[in-house]
């Protein structure tokens, strides 16, 4: 079997081993593949492994040997699943590999806003404490999370883990979800979307992006938030109207936004959020801890091996 990895660098920049994948067949690994390079590199492949490289109907039409597409992510919108199904091409994804890592970054962002550790550490490094007339000083408001309300949009694996951590910190947890959740732990309450945004001190977006909820975080919804509120997004950039959020931050309508995802990645030079005040952006790293990437690679290999043995797992619909 010829296996082609089209964009392996994000998953494995060099600190993991491809050896177990190479043992499954003739394996060619590319760090990155431009759109105009995909066809030439994919020719002759029975299996393609992709993260962000698009595998569409036009490409599949030109790859008669292709039998398997493995997406090294949970989201699989880069693949035309309908076209793959028509051609009996199996498509798999990687569910639930980064739950702990994503939830961890949610609170990294929250703690950055309320404590600004790096800001204060840099001030000490720059000599400000040495010159201070007092034994203690702060360069930003210091906020205790206990007793604050954390609102979560989307209560799947990641949303549930965010809630668990919030409870451990003494926060009040409310959430909105498309379906009703039952058997909730004590201290967690399901509410409507409008209630979550209006009542929360922190709102964490942990829902998938669908055709129905694109840019649902817009001017009207942002207006309902507390002026002291903080918005966190580790879900998908397309959940937010970025111009509306930039305006809300610049006008002081909300206190801060913490984003690990944007509508276009890498961001375009004119993205209104990149330089806006009180907007803390990380470059889509929530999923990328060493442990999560190792788990991702292991499942990627297991998915392909299961397909080869005739028992495919993690197939997408």
3-state class (DSSP) for residue 2: strand
Indicate whether 37 pLDDT > 80: yes
Say what percent of the chain tops pLDDT 90: 97
Domain 2-97+290-308 fold is Rossmann fold (3.40.50)
Closest CA to 236 of 214, 269, 266, 254: 214
Tell me the average pLDDT of the chain: 97
| Residues labelled as active-site residues | 236, 265, 284
Give the pLDDT band (50/70/90) at residue 317: confident
Alpha carbon distance 62, 53 (integer Å):
16
Q: Taking residues 166-181, what's their average pLDDT?
A: 97
| Token digits of residue 233 | 């997004």
- Strand order across the beta sheet in which 68-71 lies: 26-29, 2-5, 47-50, 68-71, 90-92
Which pLDDT tens digit goes with each residue over 255-308? 999 999 999 999 999 999 999 989 999 999 999 999 999 999 999 999 999 999
Residues of the chain with CATH 3.40.50.720: 2-97+290-308, 99-281
Given this model, what pLDDT does residue 152 score?
98
The single residue listed with the structure tokens 């330089």 is 275
Architecture category of domain 99-281 in CATH: 3-Layer(aba) Sandwich (3.40)
| Token digits of residue 227 | 């002026």
Long-range CB contacts for residues 83-90, cutoff 8 Å, separation at least 24? 83/56, 83/57, 84/55, 84/60, 87/60, 89/60, 90/307, 90/312, 90/315
């Amino acid at each position: 079997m010829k296996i082609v990895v089209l964009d392996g660098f994000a998953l494995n920049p060099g600190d993991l081993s491809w050896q177990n994948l190479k043992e499954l067949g003739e394996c060619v690994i590319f760090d990155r593949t431009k759109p105009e390079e995909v066809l030439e590199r994919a020719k002759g492949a029975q299996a393609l492994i992709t993260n962000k490289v698009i595998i569409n109907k036009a490409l599949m039409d030109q790859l008669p040997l292709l039998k398997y597409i493995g997406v090294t992510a949970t989201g699989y919108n880069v693949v035309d699943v309908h076209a793959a199904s028509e051609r009996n091409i199996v498509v798999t994804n990687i569910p639930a590999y980064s739950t702990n890592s994503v939830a961890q970054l949610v609170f990294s962002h929250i703690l950055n806003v309320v404590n600004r550790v790096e800001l204060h550490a840099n001030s000490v490094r720059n000599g400000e404490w040495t010159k201070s007339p007092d034994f203690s000083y702060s360069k930003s408001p210091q906020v205790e999370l206990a007793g604050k309300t954390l609102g979560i949009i989307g209560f799947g694996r990641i949303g549930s883990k965010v809630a668990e951590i919030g409870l451990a910190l003494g926060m009040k947890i409310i959430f909105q979800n498309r379906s009703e959740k039952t058997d909730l732990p004590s201290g967690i309450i399901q509410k409507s979307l409008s209630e979550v945004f209006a009542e929360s001190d922190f709102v964490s977006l942990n829902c998938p992006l669908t055709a129905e909820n694109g840019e649902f975080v817009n001017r009207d919804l942002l207006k309902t938030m507390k002026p002291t509120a903080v918005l966190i997004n580790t879900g998908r950039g397309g959940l937010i109207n970025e111009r509306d959020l930039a305006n809300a931050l610049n006008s002081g309508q909300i206190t801060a936004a913490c984003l690990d995802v944007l509508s276009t990645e890498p961001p375009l030079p004119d993205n209104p959020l990149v330089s806006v005040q009180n907007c803390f952006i990380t470059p889509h790293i929530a999923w990328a801890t060493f442990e999560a990437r190792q788990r991702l690679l292991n499942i990627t290999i297991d998915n392909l091996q299961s397909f080869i043995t005739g028992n495919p797992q993690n197939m997408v619909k």
